[in-house]
Amino acid sequence: MAQPKERSGAGDPVRTLELLWRLPAASGAARGPKQRSSVEAVVAAAIEIADGKGIDALTMRAVATALGMTPMATYTYVPGKAELIDLMLDTVYARMDRADLTGLPWRDRVALVAGENRAMLARHPWVASLPTTRPPLGPGLAAKYDHELRAFEGLGLDDVAMDAALTFVLGFVTSVSRLAIDTDHAAADSAMSDRQWWERAAPVLAQVFDEQQYPLAARVGTAAGTAHDAAYSADHAYEFGLALVLDGLARRIDDPRTDC
């Protein structure tokens, strides 16, 4: 199986943490000539490139060009692409909207957290493609994690279960967001909407697809296609799936001994 080219936590952990928290050791401002840019400017340019063209288009040279600098100059601020990606992720996390969860029922709190992440992934689709098993442990992630855990506070879950519940919710949101992103990419790459694609394929499918041999697939697929005007609807998948996620969490919250 092909592995993603990029992931979080791929750079030197000490250097990355120094940059994320803007420790003095991460800055070379006290040495050499006056700097023309900043870590923040490099990160902002990188995010703009990834938002517009995808993470594969992100290179140190592309960032340098966007800032009117030489490629070597960008290394004055960030040691490499791996560290830059962690800085980008943490900046995106820091900028996320965070609703006031105070006093809300837990289902509403969890739904808001899910919605915040879905909106973030819609604005920054490249984030959904990055494995984050070694997340950028910067101030943006710390604020995000602390805020999101509040959705599960006071429900009788122990700390490990709270973390697992949040991971479960965010995993669902990322999965459905990828469906929406892939749908958009397919339409852009083919220059056809889903309806146009299926209309083009319909004559051939009519010849090869035997509804008698695959009756359930024919019935359900037709019903879903008619309902969504496509093979899938990311919006429907999100609303349907979120309800199931909340019901599953309710079972665990109502009885922490439940093996689910």
pLDDT digits (tens, 9 = 90+) for 101-137: 999 999 999 999 999 999 999 999 999 999 998 999 9
CB atoms within 10 A of CB 81: 18
Q: Nearest-5° angle of CA 136, CA 140, CA 146? A: 100
Same domain, 197 and 247: yes
Here the CATH number for the domain that contains residue 28 is 1.10.10.60
Same domain, 214 and 121: yes
- Give the mean model confidence (pLDDT) for residues 217-231: 90
What Cα–Cα distance (Å) separates residue 14 from each residue in 21, 85, 112? Answer: 11, 15, 34
Do the domain assignments include residue 119? yes
Same domain, 79 and 167: no
Here the CATH number for the domain that contains residue 170 is 1.10.357.10
Nearest CA to 83 out of 4, 7, 5 is that of 7
Do the domain assignments include residue 2? no
Q: What percent of the chain has pLDDT over 70?
A: 92
**pLDDT for the residue numbered 185:** 83
Per-residue pLDDT at 22 exceeds 90: yes
What is the spatial distance between Cα 87 and Cα 116, in angstroms, rounded to a whole number? Answer: 20
Count: domains in the chain: 2
Do the domain assignments include residue 40? yes
- Give the mean model confidence (pLDDT) for residues 225-239: 90
Same domain, 195 and 162: yes
Place of tokens 């080219």: 5
Q: What is the mean pLDDT of the chain?
A: 91
Do the domain assignments include residue 3? no
- Give the mean model confidence (pLDDT) for residues 27-45: 74
Is 178 exposed, middle or buried, given 0-12, 13-18 or 19+ CB atoms closer than 10 A? middle
Do the domain assignments include residue 33? yes
Per-residue pLDDT at 40 exceeds 60: yes
Same domain, 72 and 110: no
**pLDDT for the residue numbered 183:** 86
Per-residue pLDDT at 36 exceeds 80: no
Same domain, 139 and 80: no
Same domain, 70 and 140: no
**pLDDT for the residue numbered 193:** 81
Same domain, 106 and 65: no
**pLDDT for the residue numbered 195:** 81
* Residues near 121 by beta carbon (within 8 Å), at least 6 away in sequence: 127, 128, 173, 174, 177, 181
Same domain, 85 and 104: no
**pLDDT for the residue numbered 29:** 46
Per-residue pLDDT at 30 exceeds 70: no
- Give the mean model confidence (pLDDT) for residues 236-243: 97
**pLDDT for the residue numbered 258:** 62
Same domain, 150 and 246: yes
Single residue among 93, 113, 140 that ends a domain in this structure: 93
Supply the range of the domain harboring residue 191: 99-125+132-254
Same domain, 141 and 250: yes
- Give the mean model confidence (pLDDT) for residues 232-237: 92
Do the domain assignments include residue 53? yes
- Give the mean model confidence (pLDDT) for residues 25-29: 55
Phi, psi of 76, rounded to the nearest 5 degrees: -70, -30
Same domain, 57 and 115: no
- Give the mean model confidence (pLDDT) for residues 228-232: 84
Do the domain assignments include residue 231? yes
Do the domain assignments include residue 109? yes
Is 62 exposed, middle or buried, given 0-12, 13-18 or 19+ CB atoms closer than 10 A? middle
